[in-house]
Structure 1
Amino acid sequence: MRPGPVLSASLNGARSAADGPAVPMSPADLADSAVAAVAAGAGEVLVHPRTPCGRESLSPRVVGPLLEALRGAGVGVPLAVSVSVGAEPDPAGRLERVRSWTVLPDRAAVHFAEPGAEELARALLGRGVAVDAVVPLGGPAGPDPMARFLAWPVREPGRVRLVAELASADPALVAGLRGLPPVAVLLFGREAAAWPVLRLAARCGTSARTGVGDVLHLPDGRRARSNAELVAAAREAVRKAAAAATAGSR
């Protein structure tokens, strides 16, 4: 049985301190932000680990202390780490980093538009880390990332989730997911697509994602002050969209 829909919070993404005070950077700030986001309703937390100078990193000396800070702060929901070229451009380097981790996240986001994704996903599963296979849909990346995911043998469907980044809230993009392996699905968008895609996810009954890693503004256009504020707004948007979908099906 697939798990029910969850709301994931992308705490920092590829943002930097230049994006404003709502973006947490240090382990302490990320821990505080995670605690508040979970209190607001997030069922998962996604982080991009960073060195003290703000550079993304997959080093065990960066990933381990961050995960320990999050768990030490009482964050009891699954913790996910992004494993991408933003942190380590070389595919072999990413593999080496993942294999050297001494503290493991619950999940890892593997981008199937990037080289070496299949081997990286296998290595993570081999270490007991669930895989979020990130696939862009409807954007300039084209169908190749999805084709790569579909060609990758999903031997542990209960530990793999398709995370589809939609360029727009186009129902046709979601309709194309019906022939997938029996894996859970999370839909998300960035910036202008973030809120329409979140509402589409609610109507489709899939998991969804929000947070300053994806969007800096609330549905009414105001700049968000925190991840918790975005999560609270997302929960309300999901509730309304799901209720509208239920009413429309009667």
Structure 2
Amino acid sequence: MKIVACLNGDRRPGAHPALPVSVEHIVADAHEAVAAGATAIHVHPRDAAGAESLEPQVVAPLMERLYAEGPQVPVSLTTALSAQPDPWRRYDLVQRWPSSALPHSVTVNMHEPGSVDLIHLLNDRRIGVEAGVWTPEAARILVATRVDVESVLVEPTQMAVEDARDNARAIMSLLDRAGVTVPRLLHGTDATSWPVLEDAVAAGLDIRIGLEDTMRMPDGSEAHDNAALVAHAVALAAG
């Protein structure tokens, strides 16, 4: 089972005392998350002001530090439009990422404009693609376009737990019927994070947890940091 630590997401700087934003903090936090049991990390690169950015001059120093200093686990970056709202500008930025500092993979939200063109570019650049599927409609785009992806992230965004579970089941059913066999990772957001993670563990799917998805432990208390969230998820996965 893959256990991904999603370190920061699109949360604003200061949203949590331990939210990593600077390159130094991200690298240190990645080490702590892996020591707690994460087998991969997912990061939203940030510029000097703390804003999400896909600019080569932001992505390259982050990846260079992670490759130089570890931890030695796969690194995934975002390509969400929250980081670059213009899909054509996003395409251009990813095209200009230096080949010496490419991530192992990136997430691409299938419902976002420009997703299919971006995936073709990523395939050409030999960067793995994790298809973000939020709804059955997004799953249909993945199936209809037959793009080459290495995994599917099933990401229900509903705030109510049962609504999120219903949406996840609908997505899974559609993928099953279409014969999509690549690995799947299932995760929720905020109030649904822990219940959906438990569902993923029960189903034998890959999981992810971190301050991007939730800032709280299952009992509602504030998580100390990403490592605390990962350690609890690892314990749940171990049964």
Q: Which residue of 2 aligns with 1:162?
A: 152
| In structure 2, distance between residues paired with 1:20 and 1:198 | 21
Q: Which residue of 1 aligns with 2:103?
A: 105
| In structure 1, distance between residues paired with 2:224 and 2:165 | 25
The total of aligned residue pairs comes to: 228
Matched residue of 2:93: which SS? helix
Query: 1:95 Cα shift?
Result: 0.8
Q: Which residue of 2 aligns with 1:9?
A: 5
Query: 1:90 Cα shift?
Result: 1.1
Matched residue of 2:134: which SS? strand
| In structure 1, distance between residues paired with 2:69 and 2:229 | 21
Question: Is contact 1:58-1:87 (8 Å) kept?
Answer: yes
Question: Is contact 1:198-1:238 (8 Å) kept?
Answer: no
Choose the corresponding residue for 1:40, options 16, 36, 39: 36
Deviations 1:82-103 (A, max 9, x none): 0011111111111101110012
| In structure 1, distance between residues paired with 2:64 and 2:53 | 16
| In structure 1, distance between residues paired with 2:180 and 2:41 | 25
Structure 2 unpaired stretches of 5+: 159-163
| In structure 1, distance between residues paired with 2:69 and 2:188 | 29
> What TM-score does the superposition give when structure 2 sets the normalisation length?
0.91
Question: Is contact 1:160-1:184 (8 Å) kept?
Answer: yes
Q: Which residue of 2 aligns with 1:228?
A: 227
Choose the corresponding residue for 1:50, options 46, 51, 60: 46
Choose the corresponding residue for 1:92, options 74, 88, 91: 88
Q: How does 1:19-168 map to 2 (within 5 A)?
A: 19-102=15-98, 103-137=101-135, 143-154=136-147, 156=148, 159-166=149-156, 167=158, 168=164
User: Please, which moves more after superposition, 15-24 or 191-200?
Assistant: 15-24
Query: 1:213 Cα shift?
Result: 0.6
Supply the AA of the counterpart residue of 1:111.
N
| In structure 1, distance between residues paired with 2:81 and 2:169 | 29
Q: Which residue of 1 aligns with 2:161?
A: none
Sequence identity (%): 36
Question: Is contact 2:139-2:174 (8 Å) kept?
Answer: no
Supply the AA of the counterpart residue of 1:223.
E
Residue 214 in structure 1 maps to residue 209 in structure 2: no
